[in-house]
A and B are shown apart, each in its own frame.
Chain A
Amino acid sequence: MRPLLSRRALIAAGSATAASLVSSCEKMSDSPNLRWLLDFGEFMSLHAQRALLAGQPLVREYAEADITPDFPPNGTERPAGMGYFQLVMSNFAAFRLTVDGLVDNPLSLSMDEIKALPARTQITQHNCDEGWTAIGQWTGVPLAHLLKTAGIKPEARYIVFHCLDEMVRTPDRSGFYYESIDLFDAFHPQTILAYGMNGKTLPLAHGAPLRLRVERQIGYKHAKYVARVEAVDRLDRIGKGKGGFWEDRGYQWYAGQ
């Protein structure tokens, strides 16, 4: 049978390809030729989940009895630097949250002013990208309320959260944590800037005085120590241009999983 040889060659070639596939995946990951494949999952999840969430359902909320003890803090647990230290010593009396960028009326709010705004309390599941989850109660001002008060301009597409914690110390001070979400998530009723956790003031380790809760995405999107909320039309001019501290280091911008 003549075709036998060619078939055998085909199988051998196929097996060689399969053998090299997995071992070379890593090297290929660095190559821009493969970036489209690595981005395929994020692209598909973003569009499929946006279709699934078109009705803006709420994530499941739990009872007080479900709150887990010792909710683990992740990332920065106490920002370094004199500026933050002084804020802590003054019990955040000198703290101001800035809401600016593509808005009609930029805001500068003290913690007392923020706590006087309409508040939302929710008991939700926190999902870390490493795999652990914990349940906590969060109290804060809905981001939608701040954005409506500031009057967001029609060309705004993303909301950027600038944080007080410097993850990487560099001479140009570009290593501060930051995050961004689009308006779909920014106006979701459960997207809040929280100042309370489990019925108490938000602890330092969890992002005092203010942290983001964006419940339909995972851990690293929930920026802590938020001091400035900026409305922008594009993300490529901030940080390294990928929309967040971890995104600039290879993590997916859309993290609904």
Chain B
Amino acid sequence: MADVEHETAPAPALPITAPPMAAGTAATPLPMPPDAAPDSAPAREVMYRHSITVRITHWANVVFLTLLLMSGLCIFNYHPSLYWGNYGYRGVPAFLSIAALEDIETDEPVGVTTIAGHRFITTGVLGLSYNAEGAPVGVAFPPWMTLPGGPGLALARDWHFAAAWLFVLNGLAYLLYGLLSGHFRRDLLPASRELRGRNVLGEIWSHLRLSRARGDAARRYNVLQKLAYMAVAFVLLPVMVLTGLTMSPAVTAAMPFLFDLFGGRQSARTIHFITANLIVLFVLVHVIQVFVAGAFSGMRAMITGYFPIRPEKAR
């Protein structure tokens, strides 16, 4: 049956899913229960899962957040230190800093990341990386992570602010749609019974076993999904926008309470960085979960809208 072929078809080489490929391959050899063998599987139902608005805003977000992250890292490289409070510059104790230092024993340059006084050697990735000729380059985030891939603060700022506006407009369209269409209430808001400890623990257990949702459970997001999506859409991404605005002397002239909301101008910059990391973490887990749940059907659902429901196991 064609539907089964979808599931076992090799996942196309998608760049956004490239890093967690190892997790994907680890998930695919999960033993298929004998009753799910192609010849005995009942006809699989296909549901319309993602509306056109959700699909467009989702992929637009992939593009805009990638541009924001890469240009943001390039901007960070021009002052690779983070502070708490209202001010921060070279010489002020930093909460986090990434620097190229010299190893006093070997005289070799090393990349050092300092977080809250703890030093980590991060040569090759943070603080010090190697260019195509193998020569060491003292730069916080390596050029392959940044936009532009090397020096270029003016260009990085152009990309960052253009992508920020596109991201905000896209996000507003999504929020408006989600509220008016009932998408948030229907698909994202967990019912009180879902929030009970027993259900949440059950979901955590089934996530740990990397099991795939079947039958009725596959029709809707599980409680962990709902909470994760809500945390990203209503907390992390809005915090990104607000901390970004707190770094604008024009915006804070009109809205000085932003300083107080985040504990100062430099705290806002630090929270902006930490929240960006949390979003990257979410994306990694999200992509791994798509692989666990079936990379091809998941990807197809977010492109075409249609998602195949795996039938309940025969007991």
Contact = CB atoms under 8 A, between A and B. Distances in A.
Interface of A: 1, 4, 7-8, 10-12, 14-15, 18-19, 21-22, 25-26, 29, 37-42, 44-45, 49, 52-53, 55, 57-60, 62, 66, 68, 70, 72, 125, 127-135, 215-218, 246, 249-252, 256-257
A217 B249 contact: yes
B37 interface: no
Interface in B60-115: 62-63, 66-67, 70, 75-76, 78-79, 81, 86-92
B154 A252 contact: yes
Contacts of B155: 26, 29, 38, 250
B121 interface: no
Interface in B5-61: 5-6, 9, 12-16
A23 to B, nearest CB: 8
A43 to B, nearest CB: 9
Contact of B164 (A18, A37, A41): A41
B87 A134 contact: yes
Contacts of A128: 79, 89
Nearest to B248: A257
A37 B71 CA distance: 14
Nearest to B253: A59
A15 B79 contact: no
B186 to A, nearest CB: 27
Given A4-B6, A72-B89, A256-B248, A58 B159 contact: no
Interface stretch (B171-179, B277-285, B297-305): B297-305
B75 A131 contact: yes
Given A11-B299, A131-B78, 15 more contacts: A15-B16, A18-B63, A26-B155, A45-B248, A49-B251, A57-B254, A60-B256, A60-B259, A70-B91, A133-B86, A133-B266, A217-B249, A250-B155, A256-B249, A257-B250
B15 A41 contact: no
Nearest to A66: B86
Contacts of A4: 2, 5-6
Interface string B174-199: 00000000000000000000000000
B66 to A, nearest CB: 6
A128 to B, nearest CB: 7
B249 A59 contact: yes
B125 interface: no
Chain B, interface residues (CB within 8 Å), range? 35 or more
8 contacts: A41-B157, A45-B165, A60-B256, A131-B79, A132-B81, A215-B253, A246-B154, A251-B153
A130 B16 CA distance: 29
B239 interface: no
B287 interface: no
Contacts of A218: 249
Contacts of A42: 158, 161
Q: Which 9 A-B pairs have the closest CB atoms?
A: A41-B161, A256-B250, A250-B154, A131-B79, A132-B89, A257-B248, A41-B162, A38-B158, A130-B78
Between A25, A49, A218, A250, the greatest number of chain B beta carbons within 10 A of the residue's beta carbon is seen for A25
Contacts of B299: 11
Given A25-B147, A130-B79, A251 B154 contact: yes
A45 B244 CA distance: 12
Nearest to B91: A70
A70 B162 CA distance: 34
Nearest to B160: A41
A127 B12 contact: no
B149 interface: yes
B206 interface: no
B287 to A, nearest CB: 13
A189 B157 CA distance: 28
Contacts of B90: 72, 132
Contacts of B147: 22, 25-26
Contact of B165 (A22, A44, A132): A44
Given A4-B6, A18-B15, A10 B89 contact: no
B87 A68 contact: yes
A77 B267 CA distance: 29
A216 B63 CA distance: 31
A235 B304 CA distance: 50
B166 interface: yes
Given A11-B299, A22-B66, A53-B253, A127 B265 contact: yes
Contacts of A1: 2-3
Contacts of A131: 75-76, 78-79, 269
A135 to B, nearest CB: 5
A125 B89 CA distance: 12
B165 A133 contact: no
Interface in B127-157: 147-149, 153-155, 157
A250 B303 CA distance: 38
B226 to A, nearest CB: 27
